[in-house]
Amino acid sequence: MSGSGKDLILRHSNASRIAHWAVAIVFIDLFLSGLALFSPFFFWLSNVLGGGSLMRFLHPIAGVALVVLFYPYAAMLMGDNRWLPNDSKWVKHMAAYMRKEHPDIGETHKYNAGQKMMFWSMVPIIAVLAVTGVLLWQPWFAPHFSAGARRAAGLIHAICAFVMFVGIGIHVYAALWTKGSIDAMIRGTVTRAWARFHHPAWERDAGGKGGR
């Protein structure tokens, strides 16, 4: 452990932060327009998303944007999200972690097991949303599929969207809860003390030069 706790070290590169916020903006449009299409209770959201027709037109295009932005970003982060033996230990102590009881959960690398679960749940869910979304995409793709296939796609799409919302909800809350992480995603840096506390193995191995 070298350097003062106040040193700033790079946690998220420029590319990583830009990709993250681009994905976030696209997700917000997709989520709100999806909600408007899912329930009449939220149809008023169409008024702030360009009106019903335009909102509906943009939703699948935003979906393509999500796929195009998310998967290269995910490929960039994949190495740091490999599941390690230590991660299972983290999961076992997750409840205590959430109570801030600082259980002994070993050395955390760049991402803790919670972050890794978030990562690995989004990878297949966005794929399923994309595939079912193509089946529903009017007027270009949907006409090639039967009504029954499109009904099934609609239901699966809705279920996955809610799983995604829950995942992203937890992600946003975890970021709000863990002080310093939102700053890190905006400016890219964390203090050495933050790195040592939350991700000691990353701080030690990367020495603060492993921002990806």
Partner 1 sequence: MAHTSLDVVNQSARTSTPPQARSTLEVAKLIDISRCIGCKACQSACMEWNDLRDEVGVQEGFYTSPADLSDQSWTLMRFNEEVIDGKLQWLILKDGCLHCQDPGCLKACPAPGAIVQYSNGIVDFQQDQCIGCGYCTAGCPFHIPRLSGKDAKVYKCTLCSDRVAVGLEPACVKSCPTGALHFGSKEDMLFEAEHRLVDLVERGFAKAAVYDPRGVGGTHVVLVLPHGDRPEAYGLPANPRVGPLLQVWRSGLARAAGVATMAAVLVAGVLHYMRHGPLEVPPEGDQGVKP
Contacts to partner 1 by CB under 8 A = 5, 36-41, 43, 46, 52-53, 55-57, 97-100, 102-105, 107-108, 112, 136, 138-139, 142-143, 147-148, 150-152, 154-155, 158, 162, 165-166, 169-170, 173, 176-180, 191, 193-194, 196-198, 200
CB of 34 to partner 1, least distance (A): 10
Distances (CA, A) of 127 to 67, 118, 122: 8, 15, 8
**Cis peptide bond N-terminal to 72, omega within 30:** no
Active-site residue, 59 included: no
Vertex 104 angle, CA 99 and 109, to 5°: 95
109: its two tokens: 């690398």
CB-wise, 76 or 185, nearer to partner 1? 185
- Scored b (16 or more CB within 10 A) or e, 76-103 reads ebeebbeebeebeebeebeeebeeeeee
CB of 22 to partner 1, least distance (A): 24
CB-wise, 73 or 141, nearer to partner 1? 141
CB of 1 to partner 1, least distance (A): 10
Phi, psi dihedral angles at 199 (to 5 degrees): -140, 65
Of residues 93, 144, 171, 199, which has the active-site annotation? 171
> Active-site positions?
171
